[in-house]
Amino acid sequence: MARFLSVVSRAGLARFVEPVARALLRVGISPNTVTVAGSVGVIIGSVGFAARGHLLVALVIVTVCALTDLLDGTMARLRGSTGKWGALLDSTVDRVSDSAVLASVAYWYATTNQHRAAVAAILCLIVGQLVSYVKARAEGLGFTANVGLAERAERLLIVGVGGLITGLGWKPALEIALWILLALSLVTIGQRMTHVYRQARV
């Protein structure tokens, strides 16, 4: 269901993203520049605001900057330059951005003596990296691992919804979201490992 919603939302956003992508290309801005700028924006939103507990402001900044993930891909497609370097850069800054979000949340929880929630955020950071690593390593070995309940879009959505509800006043929401995310991420790792194991046995 989440993947279906992701596809639908991307299709809807494409109508607005493509004109922006064309305009940026016309003024000489490259897709890779947009990729890096989006990651820098996420880091600013995370470190500058989420780490201080300003979750609603952080959420707005991170969401806007995360949309560059769609924008840079559209620009590369329009320019006809979707290459391996761009794919590597995109994957790398995605990991940096995701880490910045969760590390900032963990820092905020730790500095406000919410240690259980801080542990949840740290564990989500670690396990989230493993989710991505298993897929990348599997593909490097010639397998596919594009399965799982909690891919990147779903992970960001869960954290975003939790942050929004906490920012609006229900304080436990983000911590609950983090524990849910941790469970789903562990399931995802298991799903990907199992998927590769079945391929390896063929």
Structure-token match 């998927």, residue found: 195
pLDDT digits (tens, 9 = 90+) for 16-65: 788 888 899 999 899 999 999 999 999 999 999 999 999 999 999 999 89
Which of these is catalytic: 69, 72, 94, 98? 94
Whole domain around residue 74: which residue ranges? 2-201
For residue 13, pLDDT over 70 is answered with no
Region 160-173: what's the mean pLDDT? 95
CA–CA separation, 35 vs 80, rounded Å?
16
| Spatial separation of the C-alpha atoms in residues 177 and 172, rounded to whole Å | 9
166: domain CATH number?
A: 1.20.120.1760
Known active-site residue 69? no
Q: Which of 64-68, 113-117, 158-162 is predicted least confidently? A: 64-68
The pTM (predicted TM-score) of the whole model is 0.87
Question: Tokens 């992970």 — which residue?
Answer: 155
Cα separation of 97 and 92, whole Å? 9
Domains in the chain, number: 1
